[in-house]
């Protein structure tokens, strides 16, 4: 099967497996796992933050950040397709007692402008209004098709938020994809964010894990909440060893995933009834609407599965994500399968 459901489906590389087998370990709840400690130190160094914490999942990292930055009864502002709002089971309400105010990015990029944020702020409002406590950003933006936010855009929002004493958290699950696409170091892309979560298990290809980075005081408190949420993982250096390989080696090859996604988008855009602008595909996520084909996304995905291709339906759209376990040949085979299911269109060319 050609599995394009997500970049979370990758298998560990042989280098990762060897590192895991040889990992030096200790009890991380006591802070005694040397491999975890190296991973945390290296992540903090790369992002030019004071400290970092290894967490089991990106959702846990995001939820810890929301908890530490807010007080119960406040609101967090986020773009309406943001992961924290849509894919973390109401975590802000359950874990932190805060509401989410979803906002629409008018340009469709998923990246809010300050004007869009400012219009929704509750700063000097009547006492019965829920005050704004946190702004959440996402780079790349998953459900906007992997679109990227520039360092200048992020810094502008952070500067303006900080003038109002508002913290900013970056869900940077795929921030290394943004870094490669923009040619900008991750530290620069997140320079002024108060905290950043990034995944080792998505574009970077590790089997498990995410990192939360920020100030030393923030990470000291995050450690408490990681334990409280069940994230104390004992001899977890076995997993951290793969994370270290992912952190150091995987960014070097992300451009291959982006090239494959671009080729996939070009092939899909030729199909009749499909809505997709391939120029907007800049990282490893391709989302296309199939409403114009008269077919449901679930029906199309079911037929693709019969032809050996796995994809994810979302409403009338389908998401495909490229990753290290998908080759350029796999992309061509996927395009052929899509042509077979949806028809070839006037401008299609034979494989």
Encode pLDDT of 214-236 as tens digits.
Answer: 999 999 999 999 999 999 999 99
Q: Per the structure block, which two tokens stand in for 27?
A: 């009890």
**135 belongs to a structural domain:** yes
Is the same domain home to 151 and 288?
no
Is the same domain home to 211 and 264?
no
Which of 199, 216, 249 corresponds to the end of one domain? 249
Please, which residues bridge with residue 309 across strands? 2
Is the same domain home to 167 and 27?
yes
Which of 249, 284, 314 corresponds to the end of one domain? 249
**CATH code of 206's domain:** 3.40.640.10
pLDDT score at 344: 58
Is the same domain home to 75 and 143?
yes
Is the same domain home to 276 and 241?
no
10 Å CB burial of residue 291 (0-12, 13-18, 19+) is middle
Strands (E), the chain: 2-3, 51-55, 75-79, 99-103, 132-138, 168-171, 195-199, 210-214, 285-289, 309-310, 312-314, 317-321
Q: What is the 3-state secondary structure (H, E, C) of 273-320?
A: CCECCHHHCCCCEEEEECHHHCCCHHHHHHHHHHCCEECEEECCEEEE
Is the same domain home to 269 and 183?
no
Contact 293, 274 (CB under 8 A): yes
Is the same domain home to 229 and 311?
no
C-alpha span between 167 and 153 (Å, rounded): 16
Torsion of CA 226, 230, 234, 235, to 10 degrees: -90
**96 belongs to a structural domain:** yes
Torsion of CA 93, 94, 95, 99, to 10 degrees: 0
Is the same domain home to 159 and 308?
no
**7 belongs to a structural domain:** no
Angle in degrees, CA 17, 241, 169, rounded to 5? 125
**296 belongs to a structural domain:** yes
Number of neighbours of residue 8 by Cβ within 10 angstroms? 17
Is the same domain home to 218 and 331?
no
In a 3-state reduction of DSSP, which class is residue 102?
strand
In a 3-state reduction of DSSP, which class is residue 256?
helix
What is the rounded end-to-end Cα distance, in angstroms, of the chain? 19
**8 belongs to a structural domain:** no
Contact 140, 175 (CB under 8 A): yes
Beta strand pairing status for 285-289 and 309-310?
unpaired
C-alpha span between 171 and 212 (Å, rounded): 9
210 is in which domain, residue-wise? 14-249
**23 belongs to a structural domain:** yes
Spans in the chain with pLDDT lower than 50: 345-351
Which of 224, 249, 274 corresponds to the end of one domain? 249
Nearest to 138, CA basis, from 204, 61, 84: 84
Is the same domain home to 84 and 138?
yes
**CATH code of 286's domain:** 3.90.1150.10
Is the same domain home to 228 and 315?
no
**302 belongs to a structural domain:** yes
pLDDT score at 349: 38
C-alpha span between 196 and 267 (Å, rounded): 35
Q: How many domains does the chain have?
A: 2
Contact 236, 28 (CB under 8 A): yes
Is the same domain home to 220 and 204?
yes
Say what the pTM is.
0.95
Q: Per the structure block, which two tokens stand in for 176?
A: 């290394």
Q: Per the structure block, which two tokens stand in for 75?
A: 């609101």
In a 3-state reduction of DSSP, which class is residue 328?
helix
**351 belongs to a structural domain:** no
């Amino acid at each position: 099967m050609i599995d394009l459901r997500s970049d979370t489906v990758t298998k560990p590389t042989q280098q990762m497996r060897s590192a895991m087998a040889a990992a030096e370990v200790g009890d991380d709840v006591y802070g005694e796992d040397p491999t975890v400690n190296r991973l945390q130190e290296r992540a903090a160094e790369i992002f030019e933050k004071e400290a970092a914490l290894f967490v089991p999942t990106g959702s846990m990292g995001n939820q810890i950040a929301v908890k530490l930055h807010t007080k119960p009864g406040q609101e967090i502002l986020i773009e309406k397709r943001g992961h924290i709002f849509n894919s973390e089971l109401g975590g802000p309400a359950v874990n932190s007692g805060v509401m989410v105010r979803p906002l629409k990015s008018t340009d469709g990029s998923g990246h809010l402008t300050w004007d869009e944020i400012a219009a929704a702020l509750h700063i000097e409002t009547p006492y019965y209004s829920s005050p704004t406590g946190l702004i959440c950003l996402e780079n790349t933006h998953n459900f906007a098709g992997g679109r990227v936010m520039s360092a200048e855009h992020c810094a502008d929002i952070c500067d303006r938020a900080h003038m109002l004493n508002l913290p900013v958290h970056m869900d940077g699950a795929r921030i290394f994809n943004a870094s490669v696409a923009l040619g900008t170091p991750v530290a620069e892309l997140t320079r002024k964010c108060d905290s950043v979560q990034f995944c080792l298990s998505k574009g970077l290809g590790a089997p498990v894990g995410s990192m939360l980075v920020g100030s030393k005081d923030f990470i000291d408190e995050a450690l408490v909440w990681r334990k409280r949420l069940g994230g104390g993982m004992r001899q977890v250096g076995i997993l951290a060893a793969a994370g270290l390989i992912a952190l150091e080696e995987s960014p070097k090859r992300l451009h291959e995933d982006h090239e494959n996604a671009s080729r996939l988008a070009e092939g899909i855009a030729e199909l009749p009834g499909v809505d997709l602008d391939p120029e907007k595909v800049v990282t490893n996520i391709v989302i296309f609407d199939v409403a114009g084909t008269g077919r449901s996304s679930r029906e199309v995905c079911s037929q693709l599965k019969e032809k050996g291709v796995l994809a994810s339906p979302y409403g009338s759209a389908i998401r495909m994500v490229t990753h290290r376990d998908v080759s350029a040949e796999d992309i061509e085979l996927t395009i052929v399968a899509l042509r077979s299911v949806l028809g070839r269109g006037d401008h299609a060319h034979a494989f």
